[in-house]
Amino acid sequence: MHHFEYKNGDLHAEDVRVGDLAREYGTPLYVYSAATLRRHFQAFDSAFSELDRLTCYSVKANSNLSVLRLLAAEGAGMDIVSGGELHRAMKAGVDPAKIVYSGVGKRAHEIREALEAGILMFNVESTGELDLINEVAISMGKVAKISLRINPDVDPKTHPYISTGMKKNKFGLDMVSSLKTYERARDMEGIEPVGIDCHIGSQLTTIEPFLEALDKVLVFYEKLGNMGIDIKFLDLGGGLGITYDEEEPPHPKEFGAALTAKLKGLPLKLILEPGRVIAGNAGILVTEVVYTKTTPSKHFVITDAAMNDLVRPSLYGAFHRIVEVKESGRATRDADVVGPICESGDFLARDRELPDVQPGEYLACLSAGAYGFTMSSNYNSRPRACELVVDGNTVVVARRRETYEDLTHLEEE
Ligand SMILES: *Cc1c(COP(=O)(O)O)cnc(C)c1O
């Protein structure tokens, strides 16, 4: 059952015509399907039902409060990477005992805020960070539970910008120094090492790199046991990929079965941090064709959505399927779909076979629910898009469209 489907030639978000939403709320417009978010979360979480587990949705994929609230109501914990994301998670009513905090550059005030909130644990990425957490915790009379983020040196075979578990990446600690760091952590007054963490990258389309990393982590887990460090949590991060184009990532069920086979019977609580696989295909970006233009070498479809709304094509050369909101049945032609921003890198698609769309018509950029709005900006002084959550035939404005006033209200006039 898919929740973005054509009925009588009209693209629907659940029970609502996307064209009606575009007319009512304007474009560019993000539309998320609540049923899809729920289904994705449950499919992922239930794949690990044989294990003691906590599924912590990765907030950075889509951090809208409505999305966080919906997932929290499904039982999700959250993986955060900043004080701002902590603020969002708390505002959305997430149980702090289900929050893990990752990221390489945590500031002292962010650490304090997280300790005040009472989060489950920090995923620590450097010795400097460990020292700072210890210091802050002592000053507050608290003990911070931590995992060290291990860099297992595994190639996840994904885009270099979203590979994180290779030796050359900035993330985590190598396995040799990690052993010493756990030893230090064990003896720190403000620190209790309770877990091992690892996140090797995003948009992985095979299970093998996960298993390779897990094998290394399990060897490491044994070593820590021999050192008398009592590890209770194993955090394997996020990273499961989705279908944007022709990718065939493993179903969460398959992923769950593979991990379960290796972890069953171990006295560990598994933490997972899925982001993209929950939100990616639960959202679309709707845009209006403003102009078309044919030059001697290309046909351009100029839309009102741009790289500031959805940067993935420009940043990673990422593919997003683009479809008509109302099927026209027109013959296709090769086109570049580009935005109004003054950069040649501003495109949503290049050399794409599309029906011969005309100004005033709507297009939908699919698979835009993760790393879409959260990566958007005001570049070229473009107000950020409106976000809607559709649930059956109910429509909620999850974030109103920014106004010109929103663009300047923090500035000296
Ligand atoms: C980004 C990130 C995730 C989520 O990755 P997805 O590919 O969206 O599942 C999980 N954990 C950490 C530490 C991350 O940085």
pLDDT tens digit string along 372-390? 999 999 999 999 999 999 9
Residues 220 and 184 in one domain: yes
pLDDT tens column, 74-90: 999 999 999 999 999 99
Residues 390 and 244 in one domain: no
Q: Of 65, 82, 61, nearest to 73 (Cα)?
A: 65
105, 84 in Cβ contact below 8 A?
no
Pocket residue to mutate for ligand 1, from 45, 55, 63, 79, most atoms within 8 A of Cβ: 79
Percent of the chain with pLDDT over 90: 94
What local confidence, expressed as pLDDT, does residue 125 receive? Answer: 95
**CATH number of the domain encompassing residue 251:** 3.20.20.10
Residues 168 and 205 in one domain: yes
pLDDT tens column, 197-224: 999 999 999 999 999 999 999 999 999 9
The count of structural domains within the chain is 2
What local confidence, expressed as pLDDT, does residue 168 receive? Answer: 86
Mean pLDDT to the nearest integer, 140-168 = 91
Residues 165 and 123 in one domain: yes
What local confidence, expressed as pLDDT, does residue 309 receive? Answer: 98
In which domain, by residue range, is 54 found?
34-276
Residues 230 and 178 in one domain: yes
Mean pLDDT to the nearest integer, 280-301 = 98
Residue of 130 and 164 predicted with greater confidence: 130
Residue nearest to atom 10 of ligand 1 (CA): 238
Pair type for strands 269-272 and 233-235: parallel
CA of 156 from ligand 1 middle (Å) equals 13
Annotated binding-site members for substrate: 276, 312, 316, 343, 371
Long-range contacts of 157-163 (CB under 8 A, 24+ apart): 157/204, 157/205, 157/206, 157/209, 158/201, 158/202, 158/203, 158/204, 158/205, 158/239, 158/241, 159/203, 159/316, 159/317, 159/318, 161/315, 161/316, 162/201, 162/202, 162/203, 162/316, 163/200, 163/201
- Sole residue written with tokens 């802050």: 136
CA of 179 from ligand 1 middle (Å) equals 24
What local confidence, expressed as pLDDT, does residue 161 receive? Answer: 87
Pocket residue to mutate for ligand 1, from 199, 270, 367, most atoms within 8 A of Cβ: 199
Q: Which residues line ligand 1 (CB under 6 A)?
A: 58, 60-61, 79, 81, 102, 199, 202, 237-240, 273-277, 370
What local confidence, expressed as pLDDT, does residue 242 receive? Answer: 97
Question: At residue 287, does pLDDT exceed 70?
Answer: yes
- Residue that terminates a domain, selected from 276, 311, 345: 276
The total of other beta-carbon atoms located within 10 Å of residue 413's CB is 4
384, 304 in Cβ contact below 8 A?
no
pTM, entire model: 0.97
Distance set, CA 177 to CA 55, 123, 170, 214, 321 (Å):
28, 16, 15, 18, 43
**CATH number of the domain encompassing residue 365:** 2.40.37.10
Question: At residue 254, does pLDDT exceed 90?
Answer: yes
Given the CA of residue 241, which atom of ligand 1 is nearest to it?
Answer: 7
